[in-house]
Structure 1
Amino acid sequence: MSQRWPLIRRQAEFDAITASLKARSECCGVVLTGDPGVGKTTLARFATESLPGEVRWVAGTESARSIPLGVFAHLVGASTSRDPVTLLSTARQALIHDGDTHQDMVIGVDDAHLLDQLSATFLHQLALDRVVNIVATVRSGETVPDAITSLWKDGHLLRLELMPFTREQSIELVESVLDGPLEGLSADMIWEASGGNALFVRHLVEGALEAGTLRRSGGVWQLRGRAAITSELASLLETRIEKIPSDVLHALQLLTFCEPLDLDVLCALAGENAVEEAERRGLVRIVEERHHLDVRYTHPLFAEVIRRRVGRAAGRRLRGKLVQELSNGAVTGAAHRIRLAELALDSDHSVDPALLASAAADAIGLANVPLGERLARAAFEETGDFGAADLLARALLWQGHAAEAEALLLAFSPDSLTQAQLVRWGTSRIANLFWALGDSEKADDVLAVLRERVTKPSLLPVVEGIGSVCAVFENRPQEAVDAACAVLASERPWAVEWAFFGGGLALALMGRGDEVPALAARSAAVAEQIDGLLRFPAGHGEILALTMTGHFDRAQRRAEQYLAFASSGRYLAWGLANILVGTVELVRGRFTAAAQRLEQAIAALDVGDTADAVSWSVPAYIALGQTYAVLGRIHEGQRVVSEARARSGRHVAVFGPQLELSAAWLAAAQGETSQAIALARSAAESAAAAGQFGVEAAALHLATRFGDHSTAPRLAALAEQCDGELVRIAAAQASASASSDGPGLAAAADRFRTVGALPDAADAYAQAAIAFLRADIKRLSVECAATAAALADECDRMLSPALVEAAHPLPLTIREREIASMVAAGLSNRHIADRLFLSVRTVEGHIYRACIKLGVADRNELAQLMNLTTRPTKNE
């Protein structure tokens, strides 16, 4: 990793500075204003270095303010005179030769607000006479000498306010130093903590690296834990803090433990004058949120520095004051309970275990399971009761700490629990066993215990609800739908959510996607009463339903809503939400964005001691494998598909057909179209056997895109059975493909393009181009090939067999082209024969005929020619 911090070029500001320094009228330079560390000096020096003339720099300092012309001493020499006029005249003569103008000379003044009055006057005279060009920096919020202020007020210098980095600029800076991608959530944290200040960004990253909280996982850099700052940055900020009056500092200390804080509460604890002074000094800001006023720090790093200055005992005392004041009113709402419980836990006040348990449930409901674990653990240590244990187990299982969660639950005998507790005990164990440990057999045993022991009618829907999820994950979608539909009318939030989870996913895979939005609406009514992280895997079925029925815009909006909710949680919520967004990006052909998002999602979910067994990330591995294949990143795709296979089993059997489709894409990317078609048809057969008719249709459509001409009859039947426009268009494409119907293929491509399925449209146009060429209709062939290429470029230069053939038509049969592509990939005749289940002699015959048709002498020349007609993959 490079330790050198590069310059992020701000082109607009750079151009404005250089233009002002080259001007011969209006103004003779620029004044850059901005907050400390925003990059004023760096940009000014970078701009002046690009100019041909001489550049002389001076810098204002506190120590030089008492010395007349002190900052210019090294440029103009010493003078024995004490007369200001004489000093100015002498300085001018020393700097500027008599009778000359030096408009190519640039005087750079750093921190011009610190200039003594005579230096400021001297600079003003130089600007007034236009004898030099000037670039100066001024810190925002500081008192500036009148002579400096008049430089821009009177139009002698252009005033340019330098703003903090945008999020994109901050990411560019950090990634250039880390030499790798930065996780989106971590990028947000660094940008928000730094406020886009270049100096702060640098120190935050260096501090986090030193503290070990910024580390690489799966090729992605992640920030985990509080933002760390270097001692150097802390010293810089403490210089400002040391000037703060004690009453203001007390207000800031209270705020650092409870931000944001109600204005009235802070005024009651610290005094109105202190809060008003803090606002006047620009240390805090007052914001209106939900019809009341909250106090926030102007910059997050000041809170961090002040927190570091408060000792442990003082921190407990300050938190205690906050707890006492916040407890005076009614404790209402999840946010209030969580805040009060977290403060009380670290204060000198006793903590109510009931408050801890309630706040733990709130935190888990908002998807902040690390905080939920902390609060639940504290509650369990106080009481040892089952309610706190269940909360703790749920927080643990979501984080991949499955063994601890299982041990915690096993400490309670089912015989000692009420039926309501038994349901909670059983469903938590099933979730842990099934999706954290990957042991579906033992989970089924626990489900059987619940079905045997739970007799209360009001509790039975919860049992059947989670049973529907188990059924669909074990690849029994019809059973899942039947169970889900039977319990959706229940008033139990957990019953409804489990039913939405199991039934929604099952309906989507069965091709009944139009029925899922109703389940999603039912779930939304109870979502606040269940574990927040459960929303995301449950929402996977909803997103699949929308994409498989061709409602891409709706799918995008819903996925982004899930991502917005994830902001209330932490890394796990963010990772799970990004699987949903990445799923939509994949089907829309935004492959590069999908790859980056899915990579980061997988890295974010790599948690706990049993990360390899956690099932939530399996769809991400499958989607990422397909994305890599479409982009030609074959080695990465093979690795990811292998990792997906390693996570496979009965507990995620439902995803088996989709995993085969990723493998089919990989085969196609390597030119092995026969194998790709075989894998796609195998996926279709296994999907059909399980009743996943929507997946069967998708698999047969993929086989059609790879060149299979036998899919039309079954796709026609599925078009009558499955919801959505996509299956009907796929059936039309298959029918046209079977008869090499160019107009029919072009019409199907048009329809795909209209609904937004751009990758499907690209392949259909490519197949139309091939069909028109074979019919010797060259104009239409060229038009369709051009449209296919344009769409492929729009989809990040996607690769597929049809696109390659349309772009580089060759007089070869499908089998000859496939074998020639495998020759180009470096496979021996024996390897080709084994992969295609042919004899070596048959392979040799195909190679010989391909050489004759293409006019090449031997196998080596055939490989060279084929490599010229296929775009190289991105990692080969």
Structure 2
Amino acid sequence: MDRAQPLIQRQRELAAITRALTTDGESRGVVLTGAAGVGKTTLARFATGSLPGTVRWVAGTESARSIPLGVFAHLVVGSTTSRDPVNFLAAAREALLADGDDLVIGVDDAHLLDQLSATFLHQLALDGKARIVATVRSGESVPDAVTSLWKDGYLQRLELEPFTREQSVAYVESVLGGPLEELSADRMWEASGGNALFLKHLVEGALEAGTLSDKRGVWQLRGRAAITSELAALLESRIAQLPDDVLRCLQLLAFCEPIDLDVLASVAGEESIEEAERRGLVRVHEDGIRLEVRYAHPLFSEVIRRGLGRAAARRLRGILVEALQSSDLSTVSSRIRLTELALDSDRPPDTALLLSSARSAIGFADSALGERFARAAVQRGGGFDAAQLLGRTLFWLGKSDEDEALLTEFDPDALDQRELATWGMVRFANLFFGKGDVDSAEEVLGILRERVTEPSLALTIRALGAGSAVAQNRLAEGLSEAQAVLARPDLTPWAVEWATYAQLWVFAVSGSGDIAGASARNDAVAGKVDGLFRYMAGLASVRALILTGQFDAAERRAQRFLDNASSLEYLAWGQASVVVADMELVRGRIADAARRLEQAVAALSVGPSTNAIAWIFPAYYPLIQAYSLLGRVTDAEAVLDAAETRYGGQVAVHRPHLDLARGWVFAARGETSRAVELAREAARAASVAGQFGVEALALHTATRFGDSSGAGRLAQLVECCDGPLVRLAAAQAAAAESGDFGELMRVAGEYERIGVPMEAADAYALAATAAKRAGHRGSGLAAAAAADALAARCDHASTPAVTASAQPLPLTSREREIASMVAAGLTNREIADRLVVSVRTVEGHIYRACLKLDVTDRARLAEVLRSAR
């Protein structure tokens, strides 16, 4: 790999080494200790590289260990013929000190020094004629003369720890030249153990294997860790020295980690496990009432696997399968593990186990593993049950065309009631959410409504219809059906899930925060339906809490989703990341939200085609807003284009949000009149659909853009929306309309108190404008300063109100808008077309703006506007 290898500076350790080598005191240098590959040599050489004097480096090796004064022998070649150790040491000392003052001696792998070299190093430290920096590998036998260097205080001892997670991410991102997905970062850090050498080779190996790749500007690790042949050789040299019984123990563990201690002992022997633990190769830890065995370092598992042929691996898995079949298989995870092992062993699983494990994997939101089990079941003649399970995994993995081809092989007339309902739900979901073919999906739904008559199944189909109606923005119809279904007893898990999905999304957009019952029902069926589906409903529940100002509850719920998803696969993690990013945006962590949403979009972009996958869509509009707030207009426009391309009836419920996001793009461009118009359009569309919470949000956004004409409607919405936010928005709009400085300041303080800093910043900014209009310059400056401080705290986010208050110019709002468009490079004709005015009108505004700002032309006007931002 030809990528540059960066140095991740450890500032604390680097400063300690530099002090020890440059300042006078009792210590004459430093000994760096730490595990192999932790970065001792790299750090030591970096520290000595900037020193003014002479630096002489030597390195201890196994081959030189048997030679007296081995690593320093080159210093005395030709200078003495004596074989007396004393003369040897004297000649070496004289040769070294000939380099003059400020001499630094670096010794790499000082634990490998022969006794005479160790003695010589000790003498140099005693007489203080040179500074010393040495590295010693932890866990190795070290000569007494070297050990006494730090025990007797001649050198400082500094233990070098593995990289922290943050340092590991910084290293990988420096190598790759781009951001690393957080889920991938976690797994690479865990696999490397923070060891710098292991991390370097893991990155190189993953790039070579193609498991580490750039997806939409975000680097993702997919599949098992891969390591280079170079690192494999280093680790294999350690493995080659193991006794056969210990090696066999490690080979078995490589295919089933972690494993119950008693199960491993039954096939590998207790003595071999004890010896592996003594050598630091495995660790035994408690998991509840059980003891489990894991590798001490994950990469050893990969090396062990590389050294086994297919036949041997198949046989070892078979041994483990037999042992596990005799153990406790009462948990779902234990049966999944047994099935995964059996698939590639000489004891293949039966179809019933494959089907059971496929259902469980899908319930756990591991679609990739579910696909593997279901596909194997199909190949073994599992019939319809296997096919519908495979279809469900293909849907989640974005393989919609293959899913449709699989399901259309079945004749609905040949299916019984249960099979027909299942076939229809899977096919509907794939057509509707996966392919975006709403018309075909509705045809399937019509077939189900007509032919599914068994009562509990018919209720499930009604719930499916409720979910469809809500997604298509027919909220009243969807909510009515959902509530009718939920009022009935003995519902199937899928009936509960679809009805709850519909109900929560209605709450998420209507301004109702009463989600407790729906969330409890959603949680109750977790594991009984597709695990990934609950994240779609979970997102709705968090957005309902946010829209009604229940931020602490929303934050707890969002974090719980992410914590659960982090142990699963990337699709669950991607959906959970959208939920957490929503809260980051609310809390003013704009850059964090943008970064997380970028990663979520990349993670959710799966399959051969992602043009219509519905669960990506909720990530688009918060990302557009985040980019707009950060001034990343080009990025915001690109995401907006992607969202428009992927928009369809299957995501119609998100249309008002998308229109509002477009308004944020125009606001970031400085085209505030168009931004206000789009916010109003979003409010009107939301109102017609019954999305009263989103309507309130849109009208509030229009207020932030400088339009307070929605004050009356916001006052009405207070009566039909829960929580404090709509009440504050109504008060803010009314105060902005009347120019009430004191009320705007009160509202801004309340926004601060409840933890929404960007709303507070805009309220302070509007207060500043009101104060200045009233001639209260001092109050206006104080309010503007508060707005600017909050915006700076929110990653220097920019809104029209904050910009106007922070850098006031003697322009009307229309003059400022047109001047901003001039600064963006638009011609007079383009400006006129966008504002739907004449070119002459535009020219007049530009002329008056130039007079007020004392500039002579468009170019100077543009410069003034850009400098004022």
Secondary structure of the residue that 1:529 maps to in structure 2?
A: coil
**Alignment partner, residue 65 of structure 2:** 65
1:126 Cα offset (Å): 1.8
* Corresponding residue for residue 265 of structure 2: 267
- State the distance in 1 between where 2:419 and 2:702 align: 50
After TM superposition, the structure 1 stretch with the greater mean CA deviation from structure 2, 810-819 or 141-150, is: 810-819
Q: How far did residue 307 of structure 1 move?
A: 0.4
SS at match of 1:138: strand
Aligned to 2:86: 85
1:259 & 1:36 partners in 2: Cα distance?
24
Q: CA RMSD in A?
A: 1.6
Q: C-alpha separation between the residues in 2 aligned to 1:267 and 1:626?
A: 57
Q: What letter corresponds to residue 102 of structure 2 in structure 1?
A: D
Shift in Å at residue 2 of structure 1? 7.0
2:235 corresponds in structure 1 to 237
Tell me if structure 1 keeps the 8 A contact 2:351–2:382. no
Matched to 1:71, the amino acid is: V
2:498 corresponds to: 498
Distance in 2 (CA, whole Å) between partners of 1:90 and 1:839 is: 93
> How much has 1:566 moved relative to structure 2?
1.1
> Which residue of structure 1 aligns with residue 38 of structure 2?
38
Gaps of 5+ in 2: none
In the TM superposition, residue 168 of structure 1 has moved relative to its aligned partner by: 1.0
Identify which of 364, 377, 392 aligns with 1:394.
392
What displacement does 1:25 show?
3.0
SS at match of 1:527: coil
Structure-2 residue corresponding to 1:734:
733
Q: Which residue of 2 aligns with 1:518?
A: 517
Q: Secondary structure at the match of 1:532?
A: coil
Deviation of the 1:70 alpha carbon: 0.8
Cα separation, 1, equivalents of 2:854 and 2:159: 67
Instruction: Select 1:413's aligned residue among 411, 414, 420.
Output: 411
Which of 462, 465, 470 is 1:464 aligned to?
462
Q: Contact 2:178 / 2:218 at 8 angstroms: preserved in 1?
A: yes
How far apart, in 1, do the equivalents of 2:542 and 2:195 lie?
38
Kept after mapping to 2: 8 A contact 1:737/1:745: yes
Amino acid at match of 2:402: E
Distance 2:266 2:102 in 1: 60
What's the counterpart of residue 507 of structure 1? 507
Which residue of 2 is the match for residue 427 of structure 1?
Answer: 425
Equivalent pair of 1:477/1:507 in contact (CA under 8 Å): no
Does the 8 A contact of 2:66 with 2:114 survive in 1? yes
Specify the alignment match of 1:124 in structure 2: 122
What is the deviation of 1:559? 1.2
Farther-moved stretch of structure 1 (85-94 vs 690-699): 85-94
Compute the displacement of 1:23 (Å). 4.0
- Kept in 2, the 8 Å contact 1:436–1:610? The answer is no
2:535: which partner in 1?
Answer: 536
Once the two structures are TM-superposed, the CA of residue 257 in structure 1 deviates from its matched residue by: 0.4
Letter in 1 for 2:326: N
Q: Distance in 2 between matches of 1:675 and 1:2?
A: 49
1:579 Cα shift? 1.1
Q: Which stretch shows the higher mean deviation, 102-111 or 208-217?
A: 102-111
Cα deviation 1:86-128 (Å, max 9, x = unaligned):
433343334346xx9x772111111111111111112122222
- For the residue of structure 1 that corresponds to 2:549, the secondary structure is coil
Cα distance in 2, alignment partners of residues 25 and 569 from structure 1: 54
- Provide the secondary structure at the position in 2 that maps to 1:720: coil
For 2:831 and 2:715, the matched residues in 1 are separated by 34
Measure, in 2, the Cα distance between the counterparts of 1:134 and 1:283: 33
The answer to whether the Cα contact below 8 Å between 1:622 and 1:659 also exists between their aligned partners in 2 is yes
Give CA-to-partner distance per residue, 1:449-503, whole Å, 9 cap, x none.
Answer: 2222222222233222222211111001122222222233544222222122111
Aligned AA (2:447): V
Counterpart for residue 641 of structure 1: 640
Task: Give the one of 242, 245, 248 matched to 1:247.
Answer: 245
**Cα 1:263–1:810 shift into 2, 3 Å:** same
CA deviation profile, 1:775-805 (whole Å, cap 9, x unmatched): 1111111111000001111111111111111
Report how far residue 177 of structure 1 moved.
Answer: 1.6
Range moving further from structure 2, 257-266 or 443-452: 443-452
CA distance in 2: counterparts of 1:59 and 1:290, whole angstroms: 47
Secondary structure of the structure 2 residue equivalent to 1:857: coil
- What residue is the counterpart of 1:873 in the other structure? none
1:709·1:738 contact (CA, 8 Å) conserved in 2?
A: yes
Long gaps (5+) in structure 1: 871-876
Matched, 1:14 2:14: yes
Q: Which residue of 2 aligns with 1:854?
A: 853
Partners of 1:705 and 1:764 within 8 A in 2: yes
Deviations 1:856-876 (A, max 9, x none): 334333333222222xxxxxx
Q: 1:370 aligns with which of 368, 371, 375?
A: 368
2:49 is aligned to: 49
- 1:538-587 Cα shifts (integer Å, max 9, x gaps): 11111111111112222222111111111232121111111111121122
Amino acid at match of 2:92: A
SS in 1 for 2:227: coil
Q: Which residue of 2 aligns with 1:353?
A: 351
* Distance (Å, rounded) in 2 between the aligned partners of 1:233 and 1:330: 37
Give matches, 1:479-494, under 5 Å.
479-488=477-486, 490-494=490-494
User: Does the aligned pair in 2 maintain the 1:103–1:130 contact within 8 Å?
Assistant: no
Deviations along 1:132-155, whole A, 9 cap, x unmatched? 221111111111111111211222
Q: Does 1:760 align with 2:735?
A: no
Partner of 2:205: 207
Match of 2:308 in 1: 310
Answer whether contact 2:360 2:527 (CA < 8 A) is retained.
Answer: no
- Mean alpha-carbon deviation: is it higher for 306-315 or for 46-55? 46-55
Q: Whole-Å Cα distance in 1 between the matches of residues 150 and 579 of structure 2?
A: 52
Deviations 1:712-743 (A, max 9, x none): 10000001110111110000000001111111
2:96 maps to: 95
State the distance in 2 between where 1:486 and 1:289 align.
44
> Contact conserved, 1:366 with 1:568, CA < 8 A, in 2?
no
Farther off after superposition, 404-413 or 764-773 = 404-413
* 8 A contact 2:612–2:647 mirrored in 1: no
TM-score by length of 2: 0.97
Give the 4+ runs in structure 1 shifted more than 6 A. Answer: none
Q: Secondary structure at the match of 1:32?
A: strand
Higher mean C-alpha deviation, range 533-542 or range 85-94: 85-94
Which residue of structure 1 aligns with residue 338 of structure 2?
A: 340
User: Partners in 2 of 1:670 and 1:23 — Cα distance?
Assistant: 55
The count of corresponding residues between Structure 1 and Structure 2 is: 866
Superposed CA deviations along residues 212-258 of structure 1, whole A, max 9, x for unmatched, are 22211111111222211111111111111111111100000000000
Distance 1:296 1:633 in 2: 46
Residue 619 of structure 1: how far off its partner (Å): 1.3
Tell me how far apart the structure 2 counterparts of residues 103 and 31 of structure 1 sit (CA, whole Å).
Answer: 21
Distance 1:75 1:500 in 2: 80
Q: Which moved more, 1:364-373 or 1:462-471?
A: 462-471
Using the alignment, how far apart are the partners of 1:134 and 1:856 within structure 2? 66
Q: How does 1:815-834 map to 2 (within 5 A)?
A: 815-834=814-833
1:680 match: 679
Helix, strand or coil for the counterpart of 2:380? helix
Query: What's the CA shift string for 1:676-734, capped at 9, x where partnerless?
Result: 11100001111111111111000111111111121110000001110111110000000
Residue equivalent to 1:321: 319
**Aligned-partner residue type, residue 56 of structure 1:** R
SS at match of 2:219: strand
Q: Secondary structure at the match of 2:157?
A: strand
Amino acid at match of 1:347: S
Q: Do residues 195 (structure 1) and 196 (structure 2) align?
A: no
SS at match of 2:795: coil
Give the Cα separation in 1 of the matches to 2:151 and 2:486: 70
Judge conservation of contact 1:585–1:593 (CA < 8 Å) in 2: yes
Output the amino acid matched with 1:226: R
Partner of 2:446: 448
Letter in 1 for 2:255: F
Q: Does the aligned pair in 1 maintain the 2:748–2:760 contact within 8 Å?
A: yes
Q: Shift in Å at residue 385 of structure 1?
A: 1.5
* Equivalent position amino acid for 1:53 in 2: G
- 1:607-646 to structure 2, matched below 5 A, reads 607-646=606-645
1:527 maps to amino acid: A
Structure 2 match to 1:874: none
Closer/same/farther in 2, CA of residues 96 and 862 from structure 1, 3 Å limit: closer
For 1:364 and 1:154, the matched residues in 2 are separated by 61
Structure 1 residues 38-77: Cα deviation after superposition (integer angstroms, max 9, x where no partner): 1101111111122222211111111111111011111233
- SS of equivalent to 2:329: coil
CA distance in 2, matches of 1:483, 1:158: 74
